[in-house]
Structures are given as C-alpha cells and as structure tokens.
Chain A
C-alpha cells in the first residue's frame, strides 16, 4: 500500500527535555480501546497536557504557543515501554513528522519507521545543544534531509549525519511498506516452510 513519502523537512521544533519518555505517557492505556488508527492525536501526552479535570496544563510545552512545528525533540530512550503502535499514530496524528533524540527504544523506532514518522538519532551532546537552543530561541528552524541523512539547524548550522538502514530509507523515500515486500517473496516463504517440514 502506498504511504506518504518522506524526503526533506524544514520546520520549527517542539522541545521535550525529558528522558525515558514511555509510550504510556505518549498515549495512556485508557485511550487504546479504539479499533481504528485515526484520532489518537487528541490524547497525545494526555496526562501531561491536561489536569485531572481536563483543564490545559499551561506548563506543558504542547500548550505553549511559542513552540510549534513538525519536529519533536526529546531526551534519550524515547518511546520505551509498551509496544503500542498507537503511540506513533498519536504523534503523527498530532502533526509531527520526525522525532529527534539521542536514542530510541527498539520497538518504538520500528513502529515509527513503519508509519513514515522519521526517528532521527543525534549524539547526546548535540541533542543537549539543540534542546537548549530551541528552548531559548523557539523560532529556530531545522532541516532534515533523508536522502543525505543530514540534520542541521538553519540557516547555516553544521550538518549532523544520522544513521538509518538503507532498506528503510528506501521505503520512506518511495512511500513503500514491508507487507508489499513480503507479499512479493511469498514463494521463498513457502519454500522455506517446505524445507523445514522435510528436516523434521
């Protein structure tokens, strides 16, 4: 199935200088009863954005009008905990297209890549610099170039290279998904099953 392509993104950023942000914070379990992929953005970071009575918590960055954009910049080990893909759906549905951190939890990273949300890994000291800069200058714009695997602060910041495996990069650039790939090699899969039956 065709998905949105990802090539170059230029945007302001939303800073979230917290470490170990788990998927229960991104989307609490009580909002997981839906059977569709849509509408999770409404409850993104629900318990940090709103208090118990449903009032906006003005201290939380998503409620601060100075910060907006399609890039979320967060502390290390982002997306740890539950495997719920709803976390990625919530972040995308809210309007983010990339998340920057110094490392991501494995399952979250896979889920993000499978949904066209780009996880950008930068060195920890660069992340700290970035969080600090955005915090002080909310109008800071950044550029993510997937083809070149480069991240930079506009207009003239030194580009930082980020890693992504070539297969996933290709999928994102062309808007392809893994199911299509696997359906195309079904004969190999059947042959593998046959070989295994013979072995036993």
Chain B
C-alpha cells in the first residue's frame, strides 16, 4: 500500500487532486452554497461540452497527436443535424446519428491526411479547421439557427431529487453526454487492445510499428474518435444553448487543449489518464465558479485562473524532472 501510494504521489494526478481538494474544502467552508445540488448541476451542465471534448483530446494526445479542427467539425455537425431536425421529425436518435456520422467522417479525413502526408498533426488539423470553417461560413452565410424543435430544446429530464418545497432536480442531456464520454474513453484506453496500442504508439511510434501495430489504422481510429466526440459534444452544446451559431465554437479550442494538458496529458504522447483530465476540468470549473461565489471582481478572475494553471504546470515540471533524475532518458 505505501508503495502504491508512493507511485501515485509522483503523478500529476496526485498534485491535481490535492489542489482540487484544498479548493473544494476551502470553498465549502467559505461559501456553503458551493456544495449545493444546484451548483453541482450547473457546473456539470456548463462544462459538459468541454468535458466530452477533453476526454477525446486525451486519446489524441496519448497517441502522440493533436487536433485543432474539432470545433469546426462540431460546428458542421450541429448545424447539419439540427437543420435536418428542423425539417424532418428525426428525433434524438436521428440527430445523434447525423452528428456522429459527420464527426467520424471528418475525423477520419484528418487521420488519412496525417497518415498519408506524414506532416505533423497540428499543421494538418489547423489546415482542415480552416477549410471546414470556411465552407461552413459560405454555406450558412453566417446565419444562426434560432428556433429548434420543441422536443430538442425540452431535452431529457429525468427527476432524481425533489426538495421539500417541491423543487425538482433533473438529470439532463449534458450530464448523460459527459458521463458516456468519460466512461467510453476510460474503457477504450484501459480495457481494450486498441487502447494499449495507442499508449504504445504515443510513447514510441517506431517501436510500435516494429512490434507490428498498424499505425495507419490506429491513427484513423484516434482521429475518428475525436470526430465522434466533436459530433456528440456539438449536440450537447446546441441543447444547452437552445440555438446553433456557426461562429459560437471556433476560436475557443484552447479551453479544451489547456484542460487536457492541465490534467497531465503529455504533449509528446504516451501518457495521460482519464482521472487526470477529469481533475483538470474540475479544477478549471471550480476555480472560475469559486471566484464568482467569493465575489471576486471579474477584473481579477483571469489572473487567479492563470495562477492556478501555473501552479499545476510547475508541479508537472517538477514531476518530469524527478522522473528524469530517477530514470534518465525515460521521461
């Protein structure tokens, strides 16, 4: 047990967990309504879109890649799926299938380009982001979709708690989407053969190739998975916003990428865990929520958010350095 603990204590997740716990306890004491059910529901609902994307971004980062095009992909997926839903009664299943299919197709195109061109993923996906977003703006003329079908804006509402004065709390689309994405990503990375191969490929692509892993197919899977997540996240986002705008998502990709790095995913591939990214998002969410709850002026909140990220990244750097010291060349 102490040995396990020692191993855990060296990981990024450990420091994140401590930082998170400190904030959590501190905020709970300072502002009792931080712990209220409503606040929890609010936080999960508003971070579901980011959370779903961060979990898929983890898979991409573990594989040693990166994807800058997911917001453009999500924009196409939500615009197309809900345009169709406004004309035909396709229901939730139809909307999700269209968004998922568009996401997977565009994601696989990314994977193919990265494989075939042999260029770095960041260049390829910035280019595809630009192409996709350009097409969206041309096709939609920048027009938002303001009215969506009633069944869509009503969403899913499964009551799970009723207060004494009759106020009901519901499980909503955002919670379901986030839970599915986190569970699926955990399963893929930790319980499947493909998941182990992705870690191996991210750690050392040449070694993975020589062992006989099909790097080409793995890349298609990884970027296809990112596309799928973008498709699903886009629907969760449209439901939260109750409208669709072609300009609402692109340009805000860094929120997602920063949360993944904060959660300990390595920029060079091969490492990162779902626990880490959950803690990464939770930390960002709780810091911003907490600053407002504490009544900190908006002019300061960016500063504090920055400080938290610096602390987290500094702990990560220390961690990497120590691993290097213990085992030179392996970090």
A and B interact:
no
